[in-house]
Chains A and B, each alone.
Chain A
Amino acid sequence: MRKTSILFVAGIVIVLALGFLLPWTVRNPFYFFVGYVVLQYVTIATGWNILGGYAGYINFGAAGFFGAGVYLSAFLFTTFGLPLPLCILAAAVFGAVLGLLMGYLTLRIQGVYFAIATLGLVVVLETIVHNISALGGASGMAVYGPKPPAWSPGPSQYNFTIMLVIAVAAVSLARFVEISWIGRGLRAVRASEDAAECSGVPTLRLKLLACALSGAVLAAAGAPYPFYTSFVEPVTAFSLIIGLNAIAMPLIGGTKSWVGPVLGALLLASVQQIATVTISSELNILFVGLVLIAFVAFAPGGLSDLFGRRQGRAKS
């Protein structure tokens, strides 16, 4: 366990260093626009997986948390002029609170009912945001972002680096949860909640913790979004494709560990970005739909499971 942790930390340091240096070496800003979106999805997929993959509670309402993060960040920045890092922290805290709330409301229900209830969350949140005039409602809110600091050559590169930091933090958190007692408990809950309860695992507390952590990461993924698009409106902030990708990416990559969501996000988000600027058509959604069906039918453990089997490692 020690060795892999050292490797992991080393990997993170390298990735972060790259993130800060790349903007100065790669001149074309386009790659940072695309990179932002890919990293955003890495964060979303990782956050979703804490509850969905580790605990087995499928959250159809990832877009609700994402949108909440978007709007809180936009509101704090335009109203109070809070600096970006504080906005992100505030969004994460708000996401955690929202996650806890959702956890309490859906306490007693399992499985399918939970998934349906989470669907409702997005609609309720979107309706609320829509009706708060201070947030702009349907007309949306324009957000003119802060000037990037000296260590970043431009706004798109700045957003990219910020998103990279968030993604790295999210993945580190997911890995920590996975290898700690929390992860063990969640795996017990996923395997059989009743048995876990009988063995003394504090299932309720663990579920609430997972809800809170998942919500925090999802909201943090949305926090820099207003600065990326300079404009927020409810339809795109709470969009279906976010909730969809949040499920598809871990499914494709593998839900059992932190690697899966990263893999699935890198793959699917890159494909979608390429499709947007080359093919560009409704086929994007069709593609995701078919991919989902294919993976459920043939590779339910996701890609990381496929690779694992190929290497002949015994999976617990």
Chain B
Amino acid sequence: MKTRREFHKLAAATAVALAVPAIVGSKVFAQDKPIRVGASVSLTGPLASTKNGLIGYELWRDDVNAAGGLLGRKVELVTYDDQSSAANVPAIYSKLVDVDACDVLFSPYGANLSAPVMPFIKQRDLFMIGMFGLAGNDVAKHDKFFHSGPWGPNSGRDWARGFFDLAKAQGVKKIAIINADLEFSKNAAKGGAEVAKEYGMEIVFNQSYPPNTTDFSSMIRNINAGDPEAIFIASYPADSTAIIRGVKEIGISDKVKIFGGAMVGPQYGALLSSLGPELNGLVNSHTFVPEPTMQTPAIKGFFDRYTPIAVKQGVDPLGYYIPPFYYVAGQLAAAAITGSKSVDPAKMAAFLHANSVDTIAGKIAFNEIGDWKERRVLMVQLRGIKGNDLEQFRNPGHQVILDPPSLKTGDLAGPYNKARAS
């Protein structure tokens, strides 16, 4: 594992490399103090797999500074390691605001780590971009908070609605729901159950399991006993692996048309590589895949620069799920600052509420509590995976977008057993 010092040397080198043309091109930064953007990242602890997002922040900062900064001022990124622990978050964000004088804040990863900061930013009336925190602002309802992720409004209930839309279109009447007993997966399952009921589906099996469960034999058998036509799973990487393997070992009925949903793991290079063809047929959520409806030169350029850095740091070389949206967060902050020509939280927030922003993930418009007006969580089906090579995933056709309809690139191949065997 590389130390933070080594990483910063690399980032500094990259920054210099990008800055040289800027300096040579005689762009001089204003002598004002720099604009500071502060965030905590989970470099260590259980959420350490999200630390590749930091590369997204750093690439954004380098791009902005190479283009002359914001409002003529250089952008500085201040980050700390929250060690994936909510207990560390209040002190870190107090330091960012009270000691480091940051103008803009990015939240920690996910709702659990962001929750301690919400009352803080509301009380101090600060501007913050939320990183992957589902329904993070639904309780605080702070007007200066904006999601960088495509969850859409009412995300607590609706972010995985695409899966159920697909199930409904297949005429599914009986569904099984299982989830890991952790915040994200628990909420995904809860929301899913509400949507299923709304669509008149019968939930034949609904169970949560403790996070370090390694054996799913009993659970899969119980699911089979309920005879479902669809199985919605909200799991984390370890259990995602165990469930997919378990299904292979025990087998499920041919009646199951659609399997997957909210499994964290199959978006990451590590699992795509280790499970390979076992993932065929899975219908799962994602935020970005290189399909024709989403691929643009801008985002391709991002990944071309991301991959060598990621390989050097030993993190996910594909990086489709998290890093682009960390870059998007930067773009949102930049748009707010240049659009309102200030770093005043009220003016920045007013700008983002009134205007849509072009980012590498598309055009984004916000509602009053900072959700994307349009949900763009993808439901993709994994197909045609051969072997354990990762490069195949850079081509279209292996993660076919089934939902939302605006980004669709294919139809559901079912039932699951048939899609699995192909």
Q: Do A and B come from one complex?
A: yes
Which residues of A are in contact with B by a Cβ distance under 8 Å?
A: 28-30, 33-34, 37, 127, 130, 137-140, 142, 144-145, 155-156, 225, 228-231, 233, 236, 239, 241, 273, 276-277, 279-282, 284
Residue of A30, A229, A282 touching B116 (CB-CB under 8 A) = A229
CA distance A28 to B88 in the complex (A): 18
CA distance A284 to B81 in the complex (A): 11
CA distance A236 to B87 in the complex (A): 7
CA distance A127 to B212 in the complex (A): 13
Which residues does chain B contribute within 8 Å of A273, judged by CB atoms? Answer: 91
Among the stretches B52-60, B179-187, B341-349, B355-363, the one at the interface with A is: B179-187
A284 touches B183 (CB 8 A): no
Which residues of B are in contact with A by a Cβ distance under 8 Å?
A: 3-4, 43-44, 80-81, 83, 85-92, 94-95, 98-99, 112, 115-116, 118-120, 123, 139, 181-183, 185-187, 208, 210
CA distance A230 to B88 in the complex (A): 12
Which residues does chain B contribute within 8 Å of A156, judged by CB atoms? Answer: 90, 94
- Of listed A137, A142, A155, A277, residue having the most chain B CB within 10 A: A277
Given A155-B123, A233-B183, A282-B44, A277 contacting B87 (CB threshold 8 A): no
A236 touches B85 (CB 8 A): yes
Which residues does chain A contribute within 8 Å of B182, judged by CB atoms? Answer: 138
Given A142-B139, A229-B116, A34 contacting B91 (CB threshold 8 A): yes
Q: Given contacts A33-B90, A230-B120, could you give 9 more A-B pairs where the C-beta distance is less than 8 Å?
A: A30-B98, A33-B94, A127-B210, A139-B186, A144-B119, A155-B119, A228-B90, A230-B118, A239-B87
Interface of A is mostly: helix
A138 touches B3 (CB 8 A): no
CA distance A279 to B208 in the complex (A): 38
A276 touches B91 (CB 8 A): yes
CA distance A301 to B18 in the complex (A): 56
CA distance A145 to B123 in the complex (A): 11
A142 touches B4 (CB 8 A): no
Residue of B80, B139, B210 touching A276 (CB-CB under 8 A) = B80
Residue of A29, A34, A239, A282 touching B85 (CB-CB under 8 A) = A239
For the complex formed, measure the closest distance between the CB of A84 and the CB atoms of chain B, giving whole angstroms.
15
A231 touches B115 (CB 8 A): yes
A277 touches B123 (CB 8 A): no
B118 touches A277 (CB 8 A): no
Given A33-B90, A276-B88, A130 contacting B181 (CB threshold 8 A): yes
B115 touches A138 (CB 8 A): no
Residue of B95, B119, B183, B187 touching A230 (CB-CB under 8 A) = B119
Given A229-B89, A231-B86, A236-B87, A276 contacting B115 (CB threshold 8 A): no
A30 touches B4 (CB 8 A): no
Which residues does chain B contribute within 8 Å of A144, judged by CB atoms? Answer: 119
